[in-house]
Amino acid sequence: MRATDMKIVIIGTTYPHRGGIAHFNELLFKTLHGRGHDMQMISFKRQYPSIFFPGKTQFEDKPSDGHVRSEALLDSIGPLSWLKVAKRVRQINPDLVIFKYWMPFFAPAYVAIAKRVKAGRNTKVLYVCDNIIPHERRFGDRPLTRMALSTVDYFVVMSQSVKQELLQFVPDAKYSMVHHPVYEIFSDHFTKGEARRRLGLGKDLVILFFGYVRRYKGLHVLLEALGSVQKKMPVKLLVAGEFYDDRQSYMRQIDRLGLGENVILHDHYIPNDEVGLYYAAADCVALPYITATQSGIVQICYNYHRPVIATDVGGLPEVVREGKTGFIVPAGDAEAFARAIIRFYEEDREAQFSANVAEAKKDFSWERMAEAIEALATQSATIKPANKP
């Protein structure tokens, strides 16, 4: 089998499901299709039961620029749908089935499908892994993770930390490590002046926190840091994303720190066609994560050539190049984060970092992701290392 003539099925979320995983699947689909593969996409008709979903809605109002056609067949908690998906995949008879894997909740569905798809066939299964161990641990995660990984032939991981977690569960795993590619799905670019006018911002110093708010993402640490920054210079924090955490706890913290005029909350999901506004309006983007594997937020930053101040967790230091595309600080250290913000402005690093990001983004391409998948699926003797800083 040649690397350019595989029949491939991707199973994962696509539009109208919202968020970075759907965007990832669509961009991967388009890249592999562009390289000559016969592609099919199977999506969810129900990703999460509503009772388990912390946000307002799981769906986009309109598709992104990278939207691809898919068959919405999979219900995460519907065993009959698992059989239906397996039957459909067997009809296609692919060489390779790719699952986007990020949490053990999906283990029963993925394993049921994978076993039936592989039975009596030469079809192989590959996981593209965001996480092996989820950020927010729950009872039963480890046995479900073992189950999820048990039927997989190949793995793609996107950070050293995920690689190490994978090898804890599957010591002899056949894998390739490729850093998360840039989210080129967001095509709208704005000048800073235009973006600020449209968002009602002035000429202040503005740092962006983007994406849904959960405790592990460290917004509470960033707010403490901002309190210290105000003693030195007036910086505004633009928080753009839906709260999946207790919103009132953050409001109390803002009041306690006297940051009411310095924190601008756009506390709702940001639709695809507005993402570019927020990145264009910001001087830099803050990722004060307490834990992480990798972050798609960094790859949106790189798409828009935005500098990053991030913490030293997971794969963030692998993609945010210290002193070149941003600063890396210790996780949970509000004073260190404050010093990095102050240094960013006092040293006037925005233009330099932005230019470096524009160059660095070339190392995080979808072609490298596709090449790694092809090498695994065709069992090349050598898999080229990808995305070395």
| Chain segment 186-224, per-residue pLDDT in tens | 767 789 999 999 999 989 999 999 988 989 999 999 999
Higher pLDDT residue, 52 or 215?
A: 215
Residue 301 in 3-state DSSP? helix
The answer to whether the CB of 286 falls within 8 A of the CB of 218 is no
Tell me the chain's radius of gyration from C-alpha atoms: 21
- pLDDT-derived band at 380 (thresholds 50, 70, 90) equals very low
Domains of the chain: 7-181+365-377 (3.40.50.2000), 192-363 (3.40.50.2000)
The answer to whether the CB of 237 falls within 8 A of the CB of 209 is yes
Residue 74 in 3-state DSSP? strand
Q: Which of 358, 364, 209, 327 is nearest to 279 (CA)?
A: 209
* Beta strand segments in 88-199, E: 96-101, 124-129, 154-157, 175-177
In the chain, % of residues over pLDDT 90: 71
pTM (two decimals): 0.86
Chain centroid offset of residue 374 CA:
22
Residue 386 CB: number of other CB atoms within 10 A?
21
- Give the per-residue pLDDT at 166: 95
- pLDDT-derived band at 143 (thresholds 50, 70, 90) equals very high
Q: Rounded distance, CA 322 to CA 278, Å?
A: 23
Average of per-residue pLDDT across 94-114: 94
| Chain segment 27-37, per-residue pLDDT in tens | 999 999 999 99
